[in-house]
Structure 1
Amino acid sequence: MSISVDSAAGLAVKAADRAHVFHSWSAQALIDPLAVAGAEGSYFWDYEGNRFLDFSSQLVNTNIGHQHPKVVAAIQEQAAKLCTFAPAFAVDVRSEAARLIAERTPGDLDKIFFTNGGAEANENAIRMARLHTGRQKVMSTYRSYHGATANAIALTGDPRRWANETGVSGIVHFWGPYAYRSSFHAENEAQECERALAHLEATIAFEGPQTVAAIILETVVGTAGILVPPAGYLAGVREICDRHGIVFILDEVMAGFGRTGEWFAADHWDVVPDLLTFAKGVNSGYVPLGGVAISGAIAETFAQRPFPGGLTYSGHPLACASAVATVNAMAEEGIVENAKRLGEDVIGPGLRELAERHPVIGEVRGLGVFWALELVKDRATREALTPYNAAGAAAAPMGELAAACKQRGLWPFVNMNRLHVVPPCNSSEAEVKEGLAILDEVLTLADAHTV
């Protein structure tokens, strides 16, 4: 990779951004976005020549890293052939993308409805479930994120929902399993599973099973904590849904396409949902793309009845070309297998070694290249390093940690009191160890906040 210094260009990019770009989830006058000059593989760099190891995969979506040559070439070739075409037509690259995805989704999820991203995927999955069942309520967990459009943000459990709520969404939230901070006073994973399922059963009973259209879960909760479900939990939810005629939706927007060391996280537990939503890793975000994988029973609902939804850019040829190239590259290069190996042999053991040295680490959890460090002030009490949804001075320890990472050339993913370790699925062992060595340094600084 060629990195040069061009300070003037960087200043111009920054000035234009500050003059005209309105950033998401931000107080516009309080942000200072980095001007990015380029990226390749697991790294990106600024106009000052500073290079960063991307331990965030941007927004946990560049599963094959930056500028993968096969995907870049596929986009270029498709642009020369057919840039765009309406979704009502049969287009070769659209059909091939759907076929490749359907081959890898669990069970009979063989029909693919394409969207522009994960939020729209969840919106349309909810619409399908409501129309399929004739019911309105949808249930989701408090520790979750499902997107920022109207229904998707109502489904979301984290604080980004609060400012967007209407109070008339038909969404019911419940507690999912989280053994480290159990809402059920569980003493182990088995108890957590049993009590979380009992809580869900009780919530459904009091809401009225006949009113519930769907339960939607992130297979492995992403931004809200990388919470790996205990053995038996997803199978238990599947059984509850079957018993009450409820559609089971798995949100694999972040966990899918190799992130957990399997094509889909559901494969770890051999659970087949009725609908599965995806985006991000399907093409590493090179061109916006998401979708819903649909079971035969739900697809049959719309065999003679029109599905009342659509998008101008559904199955956009450039996006589908990038998905075809991504899936093929992942298969040819063993990228899913690499993610699994990194998790089992490098990241998991490496993070557990860090936990032995750093009292600020309360828990290590994850799969594949999808890990979180839960940071605490006190291991005995499990008091979080920063309060829930902290801002300003209360959030300072995590801000200091993130800044220390960046100063050392590591771009972290930080959320509340957690540090997520989510590099690209095709990262090398050396790159991962480089990042872990930097974390070792900065966690020493964070240890100063412990008791």
Structure 2
Amino acid sequence: MTLDPADQQLTLELDRADVFHSWSAQATLKPMVIAGGLGSTVWDFEGNEYLDFSSQLVNTNIGHQHPAVVAAIKEQADILTTVAPAHANLTRGKAAQRILDRAGNSFDKVFFTNGGADANENAIRMARLYTGRDKVLSTYRSYHGNTGAAVVATGDWRRVPNEYARGHVHFFGPFAYRSEFWSTSPAEESARALHHLERVIVSEGANSIAALLIETIPGTAGVLVPPPGYLAGVRALADKYGIVLIFDEVMAGFGRTGTWFAYQALAEDGVTIEPDLITFAKGVNSGYVPAGGVIISPAIAEIFDDNVFPGGLTYSGHPLAMAAIVGALDAMESEGIVENAARVGRDLLAPGLAALAATYPIIGEVRGVGVFWALDLVSDPETRAPLSAAGVGALKSALLSRGLLPFTADNRIHVVPPCVVTDDEVARALALYDEAFAAVGDID
């Protein structure tokens, strides 16, 4: 594209005059301008380029402007740009088929939504209707979306000003580095977290609980890979008490962990722990056109054979979004993009980030899988006191000034490039992280 530097200022002026931003006090905002992108790189109108190691909001798994996805959207636009969800549409059927092929034989149907939040809303609705119960249990370290029930299921600070939905209870999931359970090993963390969860279930009244809603790997909360045995234990508790188990894979799904779904990456001894419902969005088509959905097991799907499902959306299975899904999943399959994410994580990011942690005490812990990593930053490696907001801000500025767009949250830098990231781009990014940590030095 032809870049006009004058458009840089125009973009900012229009944004600040007319756009209301999410999760922000509006007066002091000065958002970064992005004019275009390709693969793992974005740029502004002044020609400044940045390695996008945020994947925007951890959703451009296939990278920016992948030609196969762009072509699929254009082709569909020439055929049919929109259709009511009550009608059958070939592209929607193909999208559902491709998703189910990757989820496996334990799932039967896909209900399409506009994104991840309403995917979780509808999964909760299904669980309540299936069980005839009301309560939903979710973790404090979680994010499930910004709509009524989804934001109350969320555990972080965004829940508190929005607590209007009923029947939500929170518990602590495992996080060995900052354990709530005084554990000294992953095995202890898993066992004690499961004991805590069962005590919450019993104390709340198991017969009142419709669903356990958990991010398979909590993303925004810190890329918290669960310890061995935890998902199996949660599945066992759900079965014991007749509770629907929902895995929120909105951020972790579709290649991010080096497998199609995160729960597949966490198989133990060849055994994959499967939920009753899976929610998805983001990586299913890298956000090229908004889309999400619920993947439904046969037991839950069949109750709506003769009972009306009281939910729906005007744009459920929107043709342009469905075309983007088909284009993205086909390209990811044919180009080995999921395998690339697994290899990059195993062979490049894991050792590269570990080397940074060995050099800079400010990095308290490195954790992750595939292209889904977090650096837990500390002001004191002994006490593990979280790095201050000012310290994280200084690192973010140092990275941006060197041409890397980071994802920061609380006291962390999340290392989350697109699944198409190349070896050379990873090497360059690791060098830029190194430079930024060296430049900032010891901060508190």
Amino acid at match of 1:422: V
1:245 aligns with 242
In 1: Cα distance, 2:245 partner to 2:432 partner: 41
State the 1:447 CA deviation: 3.5
Question: Aligned ranges for residues 282-431 of structure 1 at < 5 Å?
Answer: 282-386=284-388, 395-431=389-425
Aligned-partner residue type, residue 242 of structure 2: G
- Give the one of 253, 264, 285 matched to 2:261: 264
Deviation of 1:171 after TM superposition, in Å, equals 0.4
| Corresponding residue number in structure 1 for 2:426 | 432
User: What is the CA-CA distance between 1:106 and the residue it aligns to?
Assistant: 4.0
1:5-404 paired onto structure 2 within 5 Å: 5-166=3-164, 169-268=166-265, 269=267, 270-386=272-388, 395-404=389-398
Deviations 1:115-159 (A, max 9, x none): 000000000000000000000000000000000001000000011
- Tell me how far apart the structure 2 counterparts of residues 89 and 430 of structure 1 sit (CA, whole Å): 46
Map Cα deviations across residues 81-113 of structure 1 (whole Å, 9 max, x no partner): 000000111100000000000011144212000
List gaps (5 residues or longer) in structure 2: none
Q: Deviation of residue 448 (structure 1)?
A: 1.3
- 2: CA distance, partners of 1:447 / 1:111: 52
- In 2, are the aligned partners of 1:360 and 1:446 still within 8 Å (CA)? no
CA distance in 2, matches of 1:59, 1:41: 15
Q: Which runs of 4+ in 1 moved over 4 A?
A: none
User: CA offsets per residue over residues 179-232 of structure 1, 9 Å max, x none?
Assistant: 000000000000000000000000001000000000011000100000000011
Query: Are the counterparts in 2 of residues 106 and 266 from structure 1 also a CA contact under 8 Å?
Result: no
Correspondence for 1:391: none
For residues 432 and 161 of structure 1, what CA distance do their matches in structure 2 show?
Answer: 35
Query: Are the counterparts in 2 of residues 106 and 267 from structure 1 also a CA contact under 8 Å?
Result: no
Find the residue that maps to 1:449 and give its secondary structure.
Answer: coil
The 2-side partners of 1:153 and 1:236 are apart by 26
Q: Is the 8 A contact 2:85 2:314 kept in 1?
A: yes
- Shift of residue 445, structure 1, vs aligned partner: 3.6
Tell me how far apart the structure 1 counterparts of residues 440 and 178 of structure 2 sit (CA, whole Å): 21
CA contact (8 A) 1:106 1:272 kept: no
User: Once the two structures are superposed, what CA deviation does each residue of 1:308-342 show, in whole Å capped at 9, x if it has no partner?
Assistant: 00000000000000000000000000000000000
Residue 36 of structure 1 aligns to a residue in which SS? coil
AA aligned to 1:328 is: D
1:446 Cα offset (Å): 4.2
* Cα distance in 2, alignment partners of residues 10 and 401 from structure 1: 24
In structure 1, list runs of 5 or more residues that go unmatched: 387-394
Amino acid in the other structure paired with 1:432: V
Q: What is the distance in 1 between the residues matched to 2:10 and 2:380?
A: 46
Task: Tell me, yes or no, if the aligned pair for 2:143 and 2:151 is still in contact at 8 Å.
Answer: yes
- Report the alpha carbon displacement of residue 5 of structure 1 after superposing the two structures with TM: 4.9
Alignment check: 8 A CA contact 2:117 2:147 kept: yes
1:272-319, Cα deviation, whole Å (9 max, x unpaired): 100000000000000000000000000011110000000000000000
State the AA in 2 paired with 1:87. Answer: P
For 2:229 and 2:11, locate their aligned partners in 1 and report how far apart those are by CA, in whole Å: 51
- When normalised by structure 1's length, the TM-score is 0.96
Partner amino acid for 1:417? N
Shift, 1:7, TM fit: 2.0
| Counterpart-to-counterpart distance in 1, 2:214 and 2:440 | 32
Q: Separation in 2 of the partners of 1:175 and 1:315? A: 35
**For 2:228, what is the secondary structure of its paired residue?**
coil
Deviation (angstroms), 1:449: 1.4
Match of 1:392 in 2: none
Counterparts of 1:153 and 1:5 in 2: how far apart (Å)?
Answer: 39
Q: Deviations over 1:392-427 (max 9, x none)?
A: xxx211111111111000000000100000000011
Farther off after superposition, 134-143 or 263-272: 263-272
Alpha carbons 1:262, 1:337 under 8 Å: kept: yes
TM-score for both structures, normalised by structure 2: 0.98
Most deviating of 100-109 and 272-281: 100-109
Tell me the amino acid that sits aligned with residue 188 of structure 1: S
> How many angstroms apart in 2 are the aligned matches of 1:449 and 1:11?
33
Partner Cα distance (2:281, 2:113) in 1 = 8
Q: Alignment identity in percent?
A: 60
CA contact (8 A) 1:145 1:223 kept: yes
